[in-house]
Structure 1
Amino acid sequence: MSRSIGLAHIIRQDNGTSTGVWGIYTLQSAFQPIFAFKEGKLSVVAFEGLIRPFRDGAPQSPMNFFSTCPSVDRLHVEALTRTLHLLNAGACLPQEASIFINFDPSVFTERSVADKALREMRLVLHEAGIDPGRVVCEVTEQRSASQETLHSFVAALKANGFRIAVDDYGADDSDINRIKELKPDIVKFDAQWITQLMESGAGFALLTTMVKSFEEQGIHTVFEGIEEAWQLELAEKSGASMVQGFVLARPELAPTSFRVFDKDRQTPDPVVAGDTPASATAAHSARPAKAFGRKVTP
């Protein structure tokens, strides 16, 4: 992989954003805000970069796009999507906001491959004007050829000054011991797993215990896929550090309509009732009738 792999497939737009081109696909960045609980309010503290493919102007499923990429091209496609997100983040996002970028550890089969990819990534960060400390690298613990490879890749990320988030914790064969070995900065809990645990008092108690255990180790937690008011309420009660989901904000293509993208303001506004979309206002103000589980209409 050379530096040209990422940047040679980038097209700069008149509005300051960038798009990517890969074969018959045009690629755009979408960003979804991540909110933190602070003194009874929700504040935007980060954004996750998500790829949005288009074919002949029509949106396509990201899963379908990646499935059409031959395995020999996957490393290059990963480089392109990261380059695209970082350039757009530099053009659109507040300087204080963290940027969550997804990595597939399975494509970094050797430490030398990871080191080269990350050197190129730092060049892109320099061009985008982004400090490496703002970047949170999301890795899925199960998607690696081996534990040795995963540990080596995470070590390479840390050596380059990036923070680490383990994604989809609780899905498939997640292992608490693996988390202790990787020592990530953040753990993102799997959306479906969270919902299942929130359905019962015993499940919610277990969820709260896990959150507390991670926080005591200095590991922040993110509940993703929060789509309903009662889930947001319980996320706050559980002690989760951050939340992400449709009930608060949906992903939007860069440049977005989010007020926090106004670079003259520099700092994301605290989210309070009245500042957020109607769904988020309802989520943070309407208290569910039960301490856990879905609300049931009488």
Structure 2
Amino acid sequence: MSRSIGLAHIIRHDDGTSTGVWGIYTLQSAFQPIFAFKEGKLSVVAFEGLIRPFRDGEPQSPGTFFGTCPAADRLHIEALTRTLHLLNAGVCLPQEASIFVNFDPSVFTDRSIADKALRDMRLVLHEAGIDPRRIVCEVTEQKSASQETLYDFVEALRANGFRIAVDDYGADESDINRIKELKPDIVKFDAHWITHLMESGAGFALLTAMVQSFENQGIRTVFEGIEEGWQLELAERSGASMVQGYVLARPELAPTSFRVFSKGTQPPSTEDGKASAAASPAAPTLHGRPARVFGRKVTP
């Protein structure tokens, strides 16, 4: 079996983790937990793989790294980052947790590219000892060079046991069309958009209606970018399945401490106390402390 492009740029370390090398950059995986609401509590059910570039030992922003990469390299970098996350997930994350990895639709310009991406994924998952059913393929908002190729690729992923998520959903016409065409298992709402909707009663009602519509269709919903306790409370009230954000847990570089999490574990508290809502998620009716309604503090 041919070696994938991603594996060719991987360095293995004694602790079992891996780093990637691309030109002058060293690439590391970071993982951020995704929590599910269940019976008034939060539990870790998944992790999203995020790339963290370094140059001469100094951290660089992902935007800086991707901005300096020629367009011709994007396909190979996509393969490398996915490979890196999957290998590290195999040694750093709980075995029952789902793993979200990003796919940039713009790189899938023809069927041969999509077919190779699928073969490489299966090869890496076999090496990492990960069941494909744990993988959620997160299709980002970039426009595909070939919509037909993208749709065929998504169907092939689904046929091989992978789940599909649409990222950065914001109810634009293009977002609605993505849902219709890709038929995802999961929808991740755009962080800025949900924060804006949470600022008013009418906006929150609209957000809740959309969440309920997706959930009624069997599509699970994720609110990302949750950074404050009041957002977490409203996310629960909206009926969203899952939440992700700094108020709950920040991304950790591999090797992470997340392997200690298992089903039913609660998120750790943070030094500044911002995660207190995560440790004991608030019910819609709050007692014993000021309530927050649509982002505004209300004195009882």
CA drift at 1:141: 4.2
Q: Which residue of 1 aligns with 2:291?
A: 289
Q: What are the equivalent positions in structure 2 for 1:130-149 lying under 5 Å apart?
A: 130-149=130-149
The RMSD of aligned alpha carbons is 2.0
Q: Which residue of 2 aligns with 1:271?
A: 266
In 1, Cα distance between equivalents of 2:296 and 2:148? 41
Q: Which residue of 2 aligns with 1:197?
A: 197
In 1, Cα distance between equivalents of 2:201 and 2:176? 22
Please identify, of 71-80 and 237-246, the stretch whose mean Cα deviation from structure 2 is larger. 71-80
In 2, Cα distance between equivalents of 1:245 and 1:114? 31
In 2, Cα distance between equivalents of 1:34 and 1:129? 21
SS at match of 2:236: helix
TM-score scaled to structure 1, two decimals?
Answer: 0.91
Q: Which residue of 1 aligns with 2:124?
A: 124
Please identify, of 98-107 and 156-165, the stretch whose mean Cα deviation from structure 2 is larger. 156-165
- Residue 235 of structure 1 pairs with residue 235 of structure 2: yes
TM-score scaled to structure 2, two decimals?
Answer: 0.91
1:2-61 CA deviation, whole Å, 9 max, x = no partner?
Answer: 624211211111111101111100000000000000000000000000000000000001
Runs of 4+ in 1 over 4 A off after TM superposition: 285-288
In 2, Cα distance between equivalents of 1:19 and 1:179? 34
In 2, Cα distance between equivalents of 1:160 and 1:114? 13
SS at match of 2:77: helix
1:292 aligned partner, one-letter code: F
Gaps of 5+ in 2: none
In 2, Cα distance between equivalents of 1:193 and 1:225? 10
CA contact (8 A) 2:139 2:167 kept: yes
2:291 aligned partner, one-letter code: A
Please identify, of 213-222 and 145-154, the stretch whose mean Cα deviation from structure 2 is larger. 145-154
CA drift at 1:225: 0.2
Aligned residue pairs total 290
CA contact (8 A) 1:141 1:150 kept: no
- Residue 280 of structure 1 pairs with residue 275 of structure 2: yes
Gaps of 5+ in 1: none
1:220-253 CA deviation, whole Å, 9 max, x = no partner?
Answer: 0000000000000000000000000000000010
In 2, Cα distance between equivalents of 1:230 and 1:106? 36
- Residue 170 of structure 1 pairs with residue 165 of structure 2: no
